Amino acid sequence: TQLLEQSPQFLSIQEGENLTVYCNSSSVFSSLQWYRQEPGEGPVLLVTVVTGGEVKKLKRLTFQFGDARKDSSLHITAAQPGDTGLYLCAGGKRDNQGGKLIFGQGTELSVKP
């Protein structure tokens, strides 16, 4: 069974602080995607990483894919209240059918002004 473990599950911080969310697995993935989900809405794609060691930046968000493609991290610099939400990592495998995504359980982030 492929599992993605996200940590922490809940994070409450003050505006301006930095934070890192981790996504770990014992399985190798061909790609790893990070989504953000608002209550009652669908996951919205933030980024996809595909190469081991890859780092991608999206404004104050930095995403990294582990060298062995088993883990990933999301770092947010100077968090703002608008960053509040549920962050999901999802791993995909390359196969002929397109491959399902395996989701982590999510990290609920609350940024207080």
Partner 1 sequence: EPEVTQTPSHQVTQMGQEVILRCVPISNHLYFYWYRQILGQKVEFLVSFYNNEISEKSEIFDDQFSVERPDGSNFTLKIRSTKLEDSAMYFCASRVRNTEAFFGQGTRLTVV
**Residues near partner 1 (CB under 8 A):** 30-31, 33, 35, 40-45, 48, 88, 90, 92, 94, 97-106
- CB closer to partner 1, 59 vs 97: 97
The neighbouring-strand residues paired with 58 are: 61
Are 34 and 87 in contact by the 8 Å Cβ rule? The answer is yes
Dist. CA 76–CA 62, nearest whole Å: 6
Tokens of 9: 């599950």
- CB closer to partner 1, 43 vs 85: 43
Dist. CA 28–CA 50, nearest whole Å: 11
- CB closer to partner 1, 1 vs 113: 1
Tokens of 91: 């791993």
Q: Least CB distance from residue 29 to partner 1, whole Å?
A: 11
Q: Least CB distance from residue 95 to partner 1, whole Å?
A: 8
